Amino acid sequence: MKDKLRNILGSFFISVTLINIAMLVLGSLLMPEQRFGYEVFIYPIIYGVIGIIPALITRDGKELSVKQTLVKNAVQMLMTVALILAFIFGGHPVDRNLIMTAVFVAVSVVLIYAGVIAISWFLDKKTADMMTEDLVRFQNRSADKGT
């Protein structure tokens, strides 16, 4: 559980950073004239929290294969897209403009999700490379001992 929370927290902070970038890009494209107050700083955190809800409520009881984990991540991503769209556009009348914005937001969420996974994977890759180096040294030590 502790490891899961640590992992989710890592994903949360990466998400918040990427959401900031996405808001900058999307805002510049869709509503460049829009001006905000200080309250705008809370939105990346709110979206980040919404983004980790699917991971928090998904059970981790069984050991999943890599393929099963990919499917699980895809399901969690779709849940995140649905939650964020509901949070942003829930209760608003559906028109052409809203649909276009929703598509941009959905694509951004998918890109952010993929970005979080890619960044986490590259960090793990660095750890894995270090572990492989340690492993080779361990194997050489063991071979020298004749075990």
Q: Contact positions toward another protein, by CB under 8 A?
A: 3-4, 6-7, 63, 65-66, 69-70, 73, 117, 120-121, 124-125, 127-128, 131-132, 134-135, 137-139, 141-143, 147
- How many other C-beta atoms are found inside a 10 Å radius of the C-beta of residue 17? 16
Nearer CB in complex with another protein: 9/98: 9
Nearest-angstrom CA–CA distance, 73 and 118: 12
**Is 35 or 67 the residue whose CB approaches another protein more closely?**
67
Q: How many CA atoms lie within 13 A of 119 on its CB side?
A: 15
- Min dist CB 4 to another protein, Å, is 7
Which one-letter DSSP state was computed for residue 146? Answer: T
- How many Å apart are CA 110 and CA 79, to the nearest integer? 11
CA gyration radius for the chain? Answer: 20
Shortest distance in whole angstroms from residue 2 CB to another protein: 9
Nearest residue to 53 via CA among 103, 134, 109, 92: 109
Of the pair 20, 120, the CB lying nearest another protein is at 120
Residue 80 beta carbon to another protein: minimum distance, rounded to whole angstroms: 15
Q: Please, what is the minimum distance in Å from the beta carbon of residue 84 to another protein? A: 21
Nearer to another protein, 105 or 116 (CB): 116
